[in-house]
Structure 1
Amino acid sequence: MTDVLLVEDDPLLREATQLSLERYGYQVRTAADGHAGLARFRECAPDVALLDVMLPRLDGVSVVRRIREVSRLPVLMLSARTDPVDVVLGLEAGADDYLTKPYDIPVLVARIRAALRRTTDFAEPVAYEAETLLRFGDLTVDTASMDIHRSGRLLELTPTERRLVLEFAAEPGVVLSRTTLLERVWDYACGGDPRVVDVHVQRLRAKIGHGRIVTVRGFGYKLAL
């Protein structure tokens, strides 16, 4: 059974979301503030975390930063705030997704499943041979083990960042639109916020080299050969 950590200070919303997710078969553990959420994270080792942004004692952005210090756990931010700055702050802190309130439970479940699929993909490497290695300058991508090295050093990437690298490496030099990346990496076949792509690409550039992913204005991004 998938273990979900839900950190939400609104008691009515917390209970309603917990009951709804449990109907979908999830085991849900809850906390009402940031400090309690971190304690539950350490106790339960959940499979995915849902964090409200505006939490008492320790806000959601600070919580996700603490989690990222020790774990690649998929994290979804939940917030009534829709300002682009808030979205960027959440994603830059290490969140994998950002969902605005009020949200539909089926949409939330779909986002959880998408995050878990990405994590599961990287947790189950298969047997591979040498030809699975792709090289782009100082960057080496192993399409089987999902390991990515830069100048011989293994990079610490989140599941979403790894998925992005693999999409770019599969079609080097080809421009991939934000819509295409949303569909392939985040499984948003019916739309999504393109700012999610922009923020994750910027974070990825800082790790694999700013010149490795090229912006093609008006179209999208491509991996430099």
Structure 2
Amino acid sequence: MHRILLIDDDAQLGPPLAAYFARFDFKLECALKPSAGLALLKRERFDAAILDVMLPEMDGFALCRAIRKDSDIPLIMLTARGEVMDRVVGLELGADDYVPKPFEPRELVARLQTVLRRRVVSPALTTATGDQTLRFDGLSIDVPTRSVTRQGEPLALTSTEFDLLCLLARAPGKIFSRDDILNHLRGHEVDMLTRAVDIVISRLRKKLEPLDCIKTLRNAGYTLALSRLLP
């Protein structure tokens, strides 16, 4: 059973949502304040967290930033419907997805299932492709363990950043359009902003520095400009 942490100051939201989540093998635990949520995340193991934007003590963006200092746990942010900037800022800070309020519980479950599914590597896929480890000059990607090293140092990536890097690294030199990347990361069910791809690319580039390996081809897309090393 997946353990999910909800950080939302609406005390009426948690109990009915927890009952609904249980139908999908999710155990939902709730924290009404960011400080309580951060304490739970440090003390216990959760598979994903849901953050409201409007919170006491600190807003959801500051909370997202605080969590990302220590953890790559999948994060879904609850934003006000129509607030595009909330979605953009959340993605810039490392959120994996967003759901606008008011929301249908089934949509939130679907988004959770998507971000959790992306963290599970298919053994059949890695065996078939032989891509257990993707090695480049200065960069190594271990697919089964979802770990990355840059110039010998471990690199902390969110699940979205890791999946994007894997997509580019499996076909170095191939140009992926924004639509290609969106479809790979989110599937076809999303109303994602095209700009979200640029945000994640920018974040990933910064983490990969000083390596300059992700190239932008104007009006075409992105590619990994590195050559694979032989095993």
TMscore range, shorter length? 0.7 to 0.9
Partners of 1:179 and 1:191 within 8 A in 2: no
Deviation at 1:86, TM superposition (A): 2.0
Match of 1:64 in 2: 64
Q: How well do the aligned residues superpose, as a CA RMSD in angstroms?
A: 3.0
2:161 maps to a residue whose letter is: E
Deviation at 1:7, TM superposition (A): 1.3
Deviation at 1:102, TM superposition (A): 1.9
Deviation at 1:88, TM superposition (A): 2.6
Identity level (%): 38
**Partner SS, residue 172 of structure 2:** coil
Match of 1:11 in 2: 11
Query: Equivalences for 1:1-225 in 2 at 5 Å?
Result: 1-80=1-80, 82-121=82-121, 133-189=133-189, 191-209=191-209, 211-225=212-226
Q: How many residues align?
A: 224
- Segments of 5+ residues of structure 1 without an aligned counterpart are none
In the TM superposition, what whole-angstrom CA distance separates every residue of 1:128-182 from its partner, at most 9, and x where no partner exists? xx98554444333344554433223332222221111110011222221222212
Match of 2:229 in 1: none
Deviation at 1:81, TM superposition (A): 5.4
Separation in 1, partners of 2:103, 2:178: 23
- Segments of 5+ residues of structure 2 without an aligned counterpart are 227-231
**Partner SS, residue 215 of structure 2:** strand
Higher mean alpha-carbon deviation, 180-189 vs 158-167, is at 180-189
Question: Structure 2 length normalisation: TM-score?
Answer: 0.82
Partners of 1:60 and 1:77 within 8 A in 2: yes
2:52 maps to a residue whose letter is: D
Runs of 4+ in 1 over 6 A off after TM superposition: none
- Taking a change above 3 Å as real, the CA distance of residues 18 and 153 of structure 1, as seen in their structure-2 partners, is same
